[in-house]
Chain A
Amino acid sequence: MNDDYLWDGSGEPDPEIQKLESTLARFRHEGQAPEFPEIVGMPRLRFWQRFAPSQWSFGLAAATAAVLFMAAFGILRWSQKLNTTSGAGWDVESVSGTPRVESTAFGKNTGTAKLGVGQTLVTDSHSKANISIADIGTVNIEPNTRLRLVAGGSGHNRLALDRGTIHAYIWASPGEFTVDTPSALAVDLGCAYTLQVDDSGAGLLRTKLGWVGFKLEGHEAFIPAGAVCATRPKIGPGTPYFDDASASFRETLTKFDFAASTPDERSTELSKILAEARQRDALTVWHLLARADESERGSVYDRMATLVPPPAGVTREGILHLDQRMLDLWWNQLGLGDVSLWRIWERSWSPAKT
């Protein structure tokens, strides 16, 4: 959907938005500027302005300068030693046991710790922690987890999960919270989800609310509520599926995504997946459009069309050529989320931001 009119009033006017504008205009601010009282007490003198230089003796000035220099030097050394991150850090509290930020352990009775950019949070087999991020959400950290804060603030909040399990509950705008794993980048698109990474770097993402985007280079997956998606190092995200799919369906999908199958085996696996796909497995089948070999894409298209008829503007030929606009139109037809959110995030996001 073109939202130029909503954005800046350009483009073709949207009648629904125009009606909302005219209806809500009665609440618009119309007030005139009041008569402001005299602004008293300004300009307020800064700290150093309160001391008139003319009143200083040379000796006092020299002594003060020396003290200030030593204090500044001390603070600098202290900050370098501790790599302090106040301001950019996130508050971490212990839920149980003694998690560590870098080498500093903290417990329930020692208050919150600060996880600064570049620092690592580790929980052992007995400890759990909780990160609260103002205006972003909360992240619960399970035992045996290791994560790092890669970036924080300014609409760009990024963790790296090296291993373990986190539960993220995010209320920030879509795309503002991301989690790196060794095998894919998880992008919050408005959701609550659980992300697990094992020691090999393989991951599993399970969405509880909203939806999540999973990405490795050009490989992407959208995981709506109730769905699961696995990732593997050097391969990236597999094909998402709803967690109530049959065991047979899931096993075959795992083979299709990650096993070193021969072309014939792969073709057999794809046929089995398509045959077993239920109506709601259109989620999985849509993803297979881009993952199936070109020679098999026609059969995926046919199955997808029986589950969710292609909307206007989507043609078989276009899909067989992986026309991005048509794929997006068809995705939106599933009612699982507006893919334009993802495209906006993609345009605005760059790994260099970190």
Chain B
Amino acid sequence: MTTTPAPETTGDSSLVLAAREGDRTAFGGLYARYARMVHGILLARVPASDVDDLVQDVFLRAMPKLCDLRDAARFGPWLAAITRNRANDYYRQTRAVAALTESLPEDEEELPASNTAPDAEAAVILTFVRCLPDAYRETLILRLVEGMTGPEIAARTGLTPGSVRVNLHRGMQQLREKLSQVSRGGAIPADSDGGRNSAAQKKNALRRRNEP
């Protein structure tokens, strides 16, 4: 991976203003800039097989709401919030869907169709990332899956660079620990609920953070 400078977000305002006026090309420009962020935030929360559809859905929901965005320069954080809400809606609408990672061997919905060894390995690693606390898993997925740099994540999501750096550092530390447990033959944690059960999630988050 090569070093990339922090992205410019100043151009967002003009794109947002143009899109508000009905310029579909401008909205396409916003899509090009933010699709990876939206994809990553969703991937941290919902099954991979549904993420692509939801990405489009998020942008389609955002379009008519653009006029409600008071500060055009805050498009990224605003869109991130819509994305997280959409992920929550997904679970409200599909309560019957089984838990994402209740039991890893049964987590076939995360395994790509080919189910080859690399695919399965990727699915396992993704599951482990999803077991991390919210802030860490979202940031790590944006970094490791979507290929965004820390400065880019900060600029797009509106988080401070310091928070992103800490999230990356700490999330990576916890991921390494979980992966090393597997390589040592330890039990695979089955404590993620995909972010749906708030109380359990908070409890799990606290428990996970017992490893400073």
Contact = CB atoms under 8 A, between A and B. Distances in A.
Given A29-B36, A36-B27, A8 B160 contact: no
Contacts of B133: 171
B206 A174 contact: no
Contact of B22 (A7, A17, A38, A209): A38
A224 B126 CA distance: 29
Nearest to B159: A155
Contacts of A8: 3-4, 149-151
Contacts, number: 180
Given A33-B32, A155-B159, 17 more contacts: A7-B151, A8-B3, A8-B151, A9-B1, A9-B3, A24-B141, A27-B122, A29-B146, A33-B28, A33-B31, A34-B56, A36-B60, A42-B21, A169-B206, A171-B205, A171-B206, A210-B206
B104 interface: no
Contacts of B182: none
What DSSP secondary structure best describes chain B's contact surface?
A: helix
Interface stretch (A268-276, A288-296, A337-345): A337-345
Interface string A23-49: 111111101011011111111100000
Interface of A: 3, 5-10, 13, 16-18, 20-21, 23-29, 31, 33-34, 36-44, 137, 154-155, 169, 171-176, 189-192, 209-211, 224-225, 336-338, 340-341, 344-345, 347-348
B46 interface: no
Contacts of A41: 64
B93 interface: no
B32 A23 contact: no
B149 A9 contact: yes
A3 B173 CA distance: 11
Nearest to A212: B212
B interface residue count range (under 10 / 10 to 19 / 20 to 34 / 35 or more): 35 or more
A28 B145 contact: yes
Interface of B: 1-4, 19-24, 27-28, 31-32, 35-36, 39-40, 43, 48, 52, 55-56, 59-60, 63-64, 66-68, 112, 118-119, 121-122, 125-126, 129, 133-135, 141, 143-147, 149-151, 159-160, 162-163, 165-170, 172-173, 175-176, 202, 205-207, 209-210, 212
B163 A173 contact: yes
A77 to B, nearest CB: 26
Contacts of B59: 34, 36
B22 A39 contact: yes
Given A23-B121, A27-B122, A41-B64, A3 B169 contact: yes
B8 to A, nearest CB: 16
Most chain B beta-carbon contacts within 10 A, residue among A28, A37, A154, A211:
A28
